[in-house]
Amino acid sequence: AQKVTQAQTEISVVEKEDVTLDCVYETRDTTYYLFWYKQPPSGELVFLIRRNSFDEQNEISGRYSWNFQKSTSSFNFTITASQVVDSAVYFCALSEARSSNTGKLIFGQGTTLQVKP
């Protein structure tokens, strides 16, 4: 069965702190894709990153970094030196290759991040 778990419902940090959002996934496919989306108060889901299951190289983009570990089925997201503008709901999502005829995303429940000034 496919499933995405974001165990942290809400996180609150003070500006400039580092914060890590956890994501654990379940899939029986060997080929799959993982995504992170940000949902600010405006409601739009903003694409942040996509990784495929064959590429475990970690990625850094500015203050954002992602740690993909197949051994623990995790795809964690770290924000370094957080800012108030980072306050949003963050979703981790999974797309299985065998769902290639649907492109369906399976989302976690989301983590609400509040960054206080």
Count of residues binding another protein (CB under 8 A)? 28
Residue from 51, 55, 64 nearest 20 by CA: 64
How far CA 86 is from CA of 19, 31, 72, in Å, comes to 11, 31, 27
107 forms part of the interface with another protein (CB under 8 A): yes
Specify the stretch interacting with another protein by CB under 8 A; choose among 10-18, 35-43, 56-64, 71-79: 35-43
35 forms part of the interface with another protein (CB under 8 A): yes
47 forms part of the interface with another protein (CB under 8 A): yes
- Contact of 109 with 7, CB cutoff 8 Å: no
What are the residues whose beta carbons fall under 8 Å from the beta carbon of 70, sequence distance 6 or more? Answer: 53, 56
Specify the stretch interacting with another protein by CB under 8 A; choose among 14-22, 41-49, 66-74, 78-86: 41-49
CB of 105 to another protein, least distance (A): 6
Closer residue to another protein (CB): 35 or 77: 35
Beta bridge mates, 107: 93
103 forms part of the interface with another protein (CB under 8 A): yes
